[in-house]
Amino acid sequence: MRHSHGVHQAVLGVVSRNPEGIHGYAVRLQGERLLGHFWRLNFGEIYRILDRLAADGLIEQIAGGESVRKVYRITPRGQRSLDDYVLSPQTDAPRPLRQELAVKLLFASSEHLPELLRLVARQRDAYLQELHTLGAERRKMHRAPFDAFVTHLMIDGAELAARAEIAWLGEVATRLRERYGAGATGNATA
């Protein structure tokens, strides 16, 4: 969830599910339960977001009983804001992909083929590592005692993205070998 526009809304959403009130620690636990691997907020971040949401009037502190923890619940305004958010169109633009590798490919020379292939392989391995983590996460969710519907969808999406990257990197490696490898006739200019 880090760096995502949805972070505040995710925290607001968790608070909204607890009409009797919820404290920061429980927000984190519930968030992890709901989103697993994709919920990457630490306590500091959660408390900052809760403060912010409270300052904006989207949540309010309720009189805690014996606990010294701050307990929050969503306000009508917060609920409207959350509903608006849930139903509003996505704001994510396609991310500018592969720029870094493109620049390297453009300006590396043909005699750097082994190094280029290593760069490509390293990037591919990073995605394989990501897939390994996602696979472990999926298996964990299978055993989870709650409905991890959304997490499964998130994992599906992340897997598809990683597959696409790996397929493309494989294509890059093949084409680099064809162009610059032993026996290649291609010119070294890009």
Partner 1 sequence: MIEYRQVTKVFGSGDTAVKAVDDLSFTIERGDFWSLMGPSGAGKSTVLHLIAGLTSPTSGAVLVEGRDVARMSGKEAAELRRRRVGYVLQAFNLLPFLTAEENVGMPLVLDGVPQREIDRRVPAALELVKMTHRAKHHPTTLSGGEQQRVAIARALVIDPAIVLADEPTGNLDRANGRAVMDLLVDLNERLSVTILLVTHDPVFAAMAKRVLHLVDGSLEQTTASDGDGDALTTSGRRR
Q: Does 174 sit near partner 1 (CB under 8 A)?
A: yes
Q: Does 175 sit near partner 1 (CB under 8 A)?
A: no
Q: Site residues for partner 1, window 59-118 (CB under 8 A)?
A: 117-118
Closer CB to partner 1, 95 or 142, in the complex? 142
Contact residue for partner 1 among 122, 153, 186, 190 (CB under 8 A): 122
Q: What is the closest distance, in whole angstroms, from the C-beta atom of residue 151 to partner 1 in the complex?
A: 15
* Residue 168: Cβ within 10 Å count: 17
| DSSP secondary structure, 26-41, as one string | HHHHHHHHHHGGG---
Closer CB to partner 1, 57 or 157, in the complex? 157
Closer CB to partner 1, 144 or 167, in the complex? 167
Distance CA 124, CA 171 (A): 11
Closer CB to partner 1, 70 or 179, in the complex? 179
Q: Which stretch binds partner 1 (CB under 8 A): 23-31, 67-75, 146-154, 157-165?
A: 157-165
CA 150 to each of CA 25, 71, 79, 154: distance values in angstroms, whole numbers, following the listed order? 22, 26, 21, 6
Whether residue 54 contacts residue 61, with contact meaning beta carbons closer than 8 Å, is answered with yes
Closer CB to partner 1, 29 or 167, in the complex? 167
Q: Does 132 sit near partner 1 (CB under 8 A)?
A: yes
Closest CA to 91 of 161, 155, 5, 166: 5
Distance CA 153, CA 34 (A): 12
Contact residue for partner 1 among 139, 143, 183, 189 (CB under 8 A): 139
* Residue 15: Cβ within 10 Å count: 28
